[in-house]
Amino acid sequence: MVRKPLRQWMLRITAYADRLEKDLESLDWSEGIKKLQRDWIGRSTGAEVDFYIGAKENVATWKSDRSASGFPRKPDSDVLRVYTTRPDTLFGATYMVLAPEHAAVESLTTDEQKSAVEDYVAKAAAKSDRDRQDDKTKKSGVFTGAYAINPINDKPVPIWIADYVLASYGTGAIMAVPAHDTRDFEFAKQYDIDIVPVVQPTDNDDIDLEKLAAGEICFAGMGTAINSEQYDGTPTAEFKQKITQSLGSMGVGSEAVNYKLRDWLFSRQRFWGEPFPILHELNQEQYSKGAVEFTGKVRTVADKDLPVELPKFDNFNVQEDAGAGNEYAPPLDFADEQWLYPEIDGVVYKRETNTMPQWAGSCWYYLRFIDPKNDKVFVDPELEKQWMPVDLYIGGAEHAVLHLLYARFWHKVLFDRGHLQTKEPFQKLVNQGMILGDIEFTGYQDGNSNWVSSNDVHRDEERQPITKSGEALTPVKIDPDDAQKSGNTFVLKEDSSISVDSRAYKMSKSRGNVVTPDNVVETHGADSLRLYEMFMGPLEQAKPWSTAGVSGVRNFLDRVWRLVVEGDKDADKNEAQNEITLSSAVVDTPPNEEQTRVLHQTIKAVTQDIEKLSFNTAIARMMEFANFFTKQKQRPKECLSQFLLLLSPFAPHIAEELWSVLGNENTLAYEPWPEFDEALTIESSVEVPVQIMGKIKARLNVPRGTSKDDLEKIALADEKVVELLKGKNIMKTVVVPDRLVNFVAK
RNA sequence: GGGGGUGUGGCGGAACUGGCAGACGCGCUAGAUUUAGGAUCUAGUGUCCUUUGGACGUGCAGGUUCGAUUCCUGUCACCCCCA
């Protein structure tokens, strides 16, 4: 593999880093996701410091010049500028490191080191940023032969090149403080560079001070300054401020903010993607001779010609040596001439042939959905005002840092350009949990097919199962019927000394535990599938699939069906009923008191549970309703109609069907949501437990709202309580009306 | 290594601001009905003990409280993400 620099389109998301971080505050998102975004943006405050690399004898002059001129916005060529989050460790900076791509590498390298440096730079170019930052691989680097001057103490420090420093972070150069940075430490050990500790850990840090002083260990925490001349004894936080200020007045440093967030590479060398509406002007003379040469001028495609559509095409591969200076040309470079070289006002242009990534759609689809047919603007401001922001966004946590950050960025750009009235697109965010495969039992066998208890199974570096001595083990899938519970684990039925793993795995083709929704719809129906997914457990939690559980909700829907429809004894469960007739139990009379109460309790619970996105408990309450009304010989139509409205968002098909069976003319979709009357949900009497020393000993049936005093009297009069309290002193009585009575007695 | 999350019956899970642990469903057991049922209905189903009854019980160990699944401290295990 070879890494080649390509000319690409970037979006300057870094310009929005600050706002993308700050505005998170206003959002109703989980702290976990907010933290992920904050960390991704990676705002840090520290200082930029210039190290002099000019001739040694000129250091004093440079310094006096700087104290007069102050810290320049851009570094001059006689300095190396570094960014550090720990300016307080400046006295411990014993070397500097440049990224291999740093612009100063060539000029700094001495003749003796030249070939070594060139070799190293070439090797680093072949590695990805990811590999370079991998902690597991050994640090590598090469000395340039040059030195820089540490501005705080005028000591010369060697300048190295190493690929653990990335050109894209900070200034592409660092001051290395091996005593207080783990990567610098590792590197210094490897190349035998001085290690000078300058931070004394506080007493509660468990650090061996002697080893630290000897340069044998590294301490990355905060503490107080040592070996830092006049700053000795200053606490880290205070030191940071002081030294930054001091560097500032010397003109060699300045407070700086840095972000881990990089600008966003936004072009792809693919056919399928939105074309950039950009035209490159061609040298007209050359073009007339059949040659393509750019003048360097670009213009955007006129509004009236938008959107740029992809040309008809049959070659979708990236081509090598496509000409026009592109060593690797995107497919669109091979589009027909008419598309590729439009002429405007007598000037011929070449279209941009990179295309946009998928994000180009996902970053603003929610805006277009508001007004999808508008051919004047991408969204009517009135409609935007009415609909935005998105009230509730339910999505997977895998979008935490990419999609959700990118979309926020676009939204802010559009806001700044005056196209939107909202600063943030997604007000509330909920991450739904993943549905895992069915629970599996796994046992382990050694080479002789003997079972090995899962307690004795270890994992090698690739997480493969091995024995303690390192022998490879084979995982064996076990039939649930062959496993049983024993204490906290599952064991084999045939040998209870062998424990087995039990867990649900992410659905994957390779594991073969994928459940296809279409198949479930086929066997159980779409309503059952939808209802089951909502019934499985809390929305945000990962939970294992269970096909048996689908039958459970299907049974519920069947019971609901029979609440309304006369049972057909000949009908098979999975076949359509021949004749659908209203059940004789359905009556047109008003509900009795208990039926009214159950209805209103159900409306209340379901309504509130939906608000909380607690769909599993909402469904449980509807099951209770169905169980209750199944037992009712007379089922008032009114109750059933209201119930069907509650059910309709969960199981729309059956609800609509039964709505019609009940004799309603129109669809239930336009019916108002049922309302409950709080007064009708309350039962007149309530059972109150009586505890003695915190143990329940009796239960009282009393009118709701019985006062504290009355409740205590009633409790004390209870036969059982009297008997148990005989000969004891009541030390304390706790009475919570409608809840409980507790006697503390000895 | 860093960050986030989760631990409650055989299983998925309930439990409002600390107040009857196990709602609801699956599974299991028994009964009714049925030519039959993997259909339906009814009842039971945390564990242990000698029963009427009692003891124990929300990963583990402590603490606060009349009272803790819930609050606090410590600890263990697992999952996810990042490195």
Is residue A190 in some structural domain? yes
Give the per-residue pLDDT at A62.
92
Is residue A357 in some structural domain? no
Q: Who contacts A523 (Cβ-Cβ below 8 Å, separation ≥6)?
A: none
User: Which of A153, A143, A256 has the alpha carbon at shortest distance from A193?
Assistant: A143
Detail the DSSP E strand segments found in A324-425. 326-329, 343-344, 347-351, 390-395
User: pLDDT band at residue A2, thresholds of 50, 70 and 90?
Assistant: low
**Residue carrying structure tokens 């469904």:** A619
Residues A525 and A491 both lie in one domain:
no
User: Which of A602, A625, A620 has the alpha carbon at shortest distance from A673?
Assistant: A602
User: Which of A59, A244, A257, A74 has the alpha carbon at shortest distance from A150?
Assistant: A59
Name residue A703's beta-bridge partners: A685
Give mean pLDDT, residues A353-361.
91
| C-beta separation of A703 from A655 below 8 A | no
Residue A591 reports pLDDT greater than 80: yes
Q: Domain with A85 in it: what CATH number?
A: 3.90.740.10
Residues A606 and A631 both lie in one domain:
yes
For residues A469 and A638, give the distance between their C-alpha atoms in angstroms, rounded to a whole number: 71
Is residue A539 in some structural domain? yes
Instruction: Using DSSP bridges, classify how beta strands A426-431 and A390-395 pair: parallel, antiparallel or unpaired.
Output: parallel
Residues A573 and A645 both lie in one domain:
yes
Lookup: nucleotide whose C1' is closest to A485 CA: B10
Residues A331 and A219 both lie in one domain:
no
Q: Domain with A716 in it: what CATH number?
A: 3.10.20.590
> Closest CA to B33 C1' — which residue?
A569
Residues A191 and A99 both lie in one domain:
yes
Residue A582 reports pLDDT greater than 90: no
- Better-predicted residue by pLDDT, A699 or A79: A79
In whole angstroms, B9 C1' to A25 CA is 42
> Closest CA to B77 C1' — which residue?
A488
Q: Domain with A602 in it: what CATH number?
A: 1.10.730.10
Lookup: nucleotide whose C1' is closest to A627 CA: B24
Lookup: nucleotide whose C1' is closest to A732 CA: B66
Q: Who contacts A517 (Cβ-Cβ below 8 Å, separation ≥6)?
A: A529
| C-beta separation of A319 from A298 below 8 A | no
Residues A283 and A297 both lie in one domain:
yes
pLDDT tens digits for range A718-745:
877 887 777 777 888 888 888 888 888 7
Last residue of a domain, one of A293, A325, A351: A351
Detail the DSSP E strand segments found in A611-656. 635-636
User: Which of A100, A104, A55 has the alpha carbon at shortest distance from A75?
Assistant: A104
Most confident of A431-445, A492-506, A576-590: A431-445
User: pLDDT band at residue A494, thresholds of 50, 70 and 90?
Assistant: confident
ipTM higher than 0.95? no
User: pLDDT band at residue A385, thresholds of 50, 70 and 90?
Assistant: very high
Question: What element of type H or E holds A282?
Answer: strand A278-282
Residue A326 reports pLDDT greater than 60: no
| C-beta separation of A209 from A199 below 8 A | no
Name residue A745's beta-bridge partners: A730
Question: What element of type H or E holds A298?
Answer: strand A294-300
Residue A61 reports pLDDT greater than 80: yes
Is residue A278 in some structural domain? yes
In whole angstroms, B55 C1' to A714 CA is 28
Residues A551 and A655 both lie in one domain:
yes
Q: What type of residue sits at position A609?
A: D
Q: How far is CA A202 from CA A183, A222, A229, A243, A482, in A?
A: 22, 8, 19, 20, 57
Q: Which long-range CB contacts under 8 A does A313-321 form with residues at least 24 apart?
A: A313/A271, A316/A270, A316/A271, A316/A272, A318/A269, A318/A270
In whole angstroms, B71 C1' to A599 CA is 36
Last residue of a domain, one of A222, A237, A258: A258
> Closest CA to B6 C1' — which residue?
A541
Residues A249 and A273 both lie in one domain:
no
pLDDT tens digits for range A435-463:
888 888 888 888 888 888 777 777 666 66
Residues A167 and A280 both lie in one domain:
no
For residues A412 and A421, give the distance between their C-alpha atoms in angstroms, rounded to a whole number: 10
Q: What type of residue sits at position A525?
A: G
Give mean pLDDT, residues A44-64.
90
Token readout for A381 is 């401001």
> Closest CA to B40 C1' — which residue?
A569
In whole angstroms, B66 C1' to A366 CA is 55
Residues A233 and A273 both lie in one domain:
no
> Closest CA to B39 C1' — which residue?
A573
pLDDT tens digits for range A91-146:
999 999 999 889 889 898 999 999 999 999 888 877 766 667 665 567 788 999 99
Positions on chain B within 7 A of a protein C-beta: 3-6, 10-15, 19-21, 23-27, 37, 39-42, 54-56, 59, 66-68, 78-81, 83
- Better-predicted residue by pLDDT, A128 or A666: A666
Residues A491 and A585 both lie in one domain:
no
User: pLDDT band at residue A415, thresholds of 50, 70 and 90?
Assistant: very high
Name residue A350's beta-bridge partners: A280
Burial class (CB in 10 A: 0-12, 13-18, 19+), A669: exposed
Give the per-residue pLDDT at A28.
87
Our count of domains for chain A comes to: 5
In whole angstroms, B23 C1' to A621 CA is 9
What percentage of chain A carries pLDDT values higher than 70? 91
- Better-predicted residue by pLDDT, A42 or A319: A42
Give the per-residue pLDDT at A129.
67
In whole angstroms, B74 C1' to A223 CA is 27
**Average confidence score pLDDT of chain A:** 86
Give the per-residue pLDDT at A356.
94
Residue A487 reports pLDDT greater than 70: no
Is residue A498 in some structural domain? yes
Is residue A32 in some structural domain? no
In whole angstroms, B16 C1' to A628 CA is 23
For residues A644 and A504, give the distance between their C-alpha atoms in angstroms, rounded to a whole number: 35
Neighbours of A94 (CB within 10 A): 21
Residues A446 and A301 both lie in one domain:
no
Give mean pLDDT, residues A418-432.
92
Is residue A647 in some structural domain? yes
Looking at A648-688, list the stretches that DSSP marks H as alpha helix, in order from N- to C-terminal side.
Answer: 652-661, 678-681
Is residue A628 in some structural domain? yes
| C-beta separation of A215 from A209 below 8 A | no
Last residue of a domain, one of A325, A351, A377: A351
Q: Which domain holds residue A488?
A: 435-504
Give the per-residue pLDDT at A220.
80
Token readout for A348 is 């011929």
In whole angstroms, B26 C1' to A434 CA is 20
> Residue A158: is the preceding peptide bond cis (ω within 30°)?
no
